[in-house]
Amino acid sequence: MPSSRRRSDSGKRAAVPARRAAAVAKRPAAPVKRAPRFGFIGDTIAELKKVTWLTRREALYLSGLVLLVAISTGIVLGLLDLGLIEIVERFLLN
């Protein structure tokens, strides 16, 4: 019999913190007072803690991808420029 009492007691005890947690969740958050000049520093630090930072591997991969796209775009635009220069010299400046 004592073990059945413990089971029923533990069930009642678990319900009480859940009710308290629900009551606490309904309360409005108290405003945080900060000095107006330096408040943005604390806000900035808080936001930076929320950021999901890239791993080293992801950063290297994405940096390589950016370099590849930049180089290929430079080559395409360079060839386009050479072609347009040739067209202008042949047809307009001749």
Comparing 14-18, 47-51, 77-81, which segment has the lowest mean pLDDT?
14-18
What pLDDT is stored for residue 33 in this prediction?
65
Region 13-29: mean pLDDT is: 59
What pLDDT is stored for residue 35 in this prediction?
60
What's this model's pTM, rounded to 2 decimal places? 0.48
**Amino acid symbol at 8:** S
DSSP string, 38-61: THHHHHHHHHHHH--PPPHHHHHH
Backbone angles phi, psi at 50, to 5 degrees: -85, -15
Angstrom distance (rounded) from CA 67 to CA 73: 10
User: pLDDT per residue over 25-78, tens digit each?
Assistant: 566 666 666 566 778 888 999 999 999 999 999 999 999 999 999 999 999 999
